Structure 1
């Protein structure tokens, strides 16, 4: 019939049966949304997607056999993939970044109010990503911390001589003293002297710390 829009098809993936039941009840009660299937683990997702062609998948993060990151990556590699919202209790920076890199369009925490979960499903289906406000704050804090670390690292390296900075770059690239000496046309003894000077000036203990500082400063 003209003017009638097909309902938005949702697949729920979670190893907790009570969570699946609660989400299904909530979403099926929302106008224009229908839950077409449920899966209890990430390894059940491909078959469920093949059988039911969901437009949006609500994906748990931690599951016994195949985790939500792996399941999301596999889904997003398919032709015409559904959008994925990770819905989890875990909000560590690493979990969020891994999910987004795997192709998730949203990342929500399970304490998100029901109406906001419904809105998130509609939003990602329309092509707009969604993140929990708490997740956004964590990412902003991480970005600020990374920026501050970069400023401190660059300020520290500014106190080195140009030759010492060249040696630092070689160390950061994992080069041996001999390889650095060959690249910079100096003796191995001179390279060792520069490394010792850098460690003293920057109050560092070893070459690994030099490499990390160079990374934070954006030298690599």
Structure 2
């Protein structure tokens, strides 16, 4: 019995680039199938929820947001879904942002078709994949050297994914009503989450929560 191909959902705001990636993968990898594509954050979120792919091949920068925003909206509800960032940028901030958000790897658009197919296979199997030199950014960011971000934040780990979503929007200045509309929950539920976050972080007001979230790069 033949092995099922890896189902890939392709996200990039340039249609020509998407066509090129699709054609290249069709040529070099018979075990990789592009099942859908999107050109914006909204389309990416809707498509990921609809197709439920094995791997989302994700652009980092898009006009209405970026890869990290797609990850924030999809990953909490579909933790089994794997994300591989594919970007023209090799800036440390871009790499760290999507890895913190939950991407399994990050490769640049200088990658060949065969290398991209191999990267898709590897992240699908559970490996972390980075283009040369980008791995160093991740190691630095999650190392225990002085001034580096710790790999584990005990306080942050106390929060549920939904509590983090509420906190992130709260820190951006959203009102409770706006948070409720954004997350499709009731205002009462928002209030419950905020109370829980305040209790867990031992903070007393919205201003302190915003600073706490900013310090942990949640905003």
Q: Give the drift of 1:114.
A: 1.7
Which residue number corresponds to residue 28 of structure 1? 26
Q: CA, structure 1 residues 123+148, in 2 after alignment: closer, same or farther (shift >3 Å)? A: same
TM-score (norm 2): 0.61
Which residue number corresponds to residue 5 of structure 1? 3
Q: Does the CA-based 8 Å contact 1:43-1:66 persist in structure 2?
A: no
Which residue number corresponds to residue 63 of structure 1? 62
Which residue number corresponds to residue 88 of structure 2? 89
Give SS of 2:65's match.
Answer: coil
Q: Does the CA-based 8 Å contact 1:75-1:81 persist in structure 2?
A: no
TM-align CA RMSD: 2.2
Q: Distance in 1 between matches of 2:48 and 2:138?
A: 31
Which residue number corresponds to residue 46 of structure 2? 47
Q: Distance in 2 between matches of 1:80 and 1:147?
A: 30
Larger Rg: 1
Which structure shows the bigger proportion of residues in helix conformation? 1
| Structure 1, unpaired ranges of 5+ | 151-220
Which residue number corresponds to residue 133 of structure 2? 134
Q: CA, structure 1 residues 6+149, in 2 after alignment: closer, same or farther (shift >3 Å)? A: closer
Displaced runs of 4 or more, over 6 A: 141-144
Q: Distance in 1 between matches of 2:63 and 2:54?
A: 25
How many residues align structurally?
A: 147
Q: Distance in 1 between matches of 2:125 and 2:25?
A: 17
Q: Which structure 2 residues correspond to residues 99-114 of structure 1 after superposition, within 5 A?
A: 99-114=98-113
Structure 1 residues 126-156: Cα deviation after superposition (integer angstroms, max 9, x where no partner): 1111011121244557789x94879xxxxxx
Q: Distance in 1 between matches of 2:9 and 2:76?
A: 17
